Amino acid sequence: MQEQNVNWAALCPLDSDRDGWTNGQELGDPNCTWTKGDANPKGFVYNPGDSDIHPPPVCGSGKLEAGETCDGDLFLVNDCAEAGAGEGQLACTEDCKLDFSQCSEPPGSVPDLGGDGNVTQPGTCAAAPGSARSLGGMGAVIGMLVAVAVMRRKRR
């Protein structure tokens, strides 16, 4: 193996792939205490150069990590409206999932717009097959994926 002169103390706290995990966390040295001559840290090693390969999120860490929609008072989306769940305030569950119980609509619900552009009241008209309203749960999944992509792009 070729030896290179690397300043680990300077490199360790950085997030080279901008995935929310420091190089030290991904290489098993979260406190950046490893020095040349020490044994390799124990545990899983992830590639700090690939944002798709990282440790699983730690719920309750007080920071929003890759794979979490919320953690304590931190949220991937700001409110029910941004999550596609009407009006109201989002909450975060103990397992770092969005709590929509204070929202006026289920997440991902899409109003049925008639040809006149007016919102049709629920139960007054069935949605045509293939329309946005007929997507149901798939619409919610697509909406959350778009929200995650937008937030990731904003963080970079």
Q: For all residues of the chain together, what is the average pLDDT?
A: 75
Q: Count helices and strands (H / E) in the chain.
A: 3, 6
Per-residue pLDDT tens over the stretch 97-147: 999 999 999 887 655 444 444 443 443 334 444 444 434 444 555 555 555
Q: pLDDT at residue 87 above 70?
A: yes
Lowest mean pLDDT among 36-50, 61-75, 106-120, 125-139: 125-139
Q: Where are the domains of the chain?
A: 1-55, 60-156
Report helix, strand or coil for 75. strand
Residue 53's pLDDT is 83
Which whole-number Å values give the CA distances from 40 to 35, 37, 45, 66, in the listed order? 10, 9, 10, 25
Backbone angles phi and psi of 53, in degrees to 5: -120, 110
Going by the DSSP 8-state scheme, the letter that residue 121 receives in this structure is: P
For residues 49 and 124, the model is more confident at 49
For residues 20 and 39, the model is more confident at 39
- Containing 113, the helix (H) or strand (E) segment is strand 112-113
Rounded to an integer, what distance in angstroms lies between the CA atom of residue 22 and that of residue 33? Answer: 13
Residue 11's pLDDT is 93
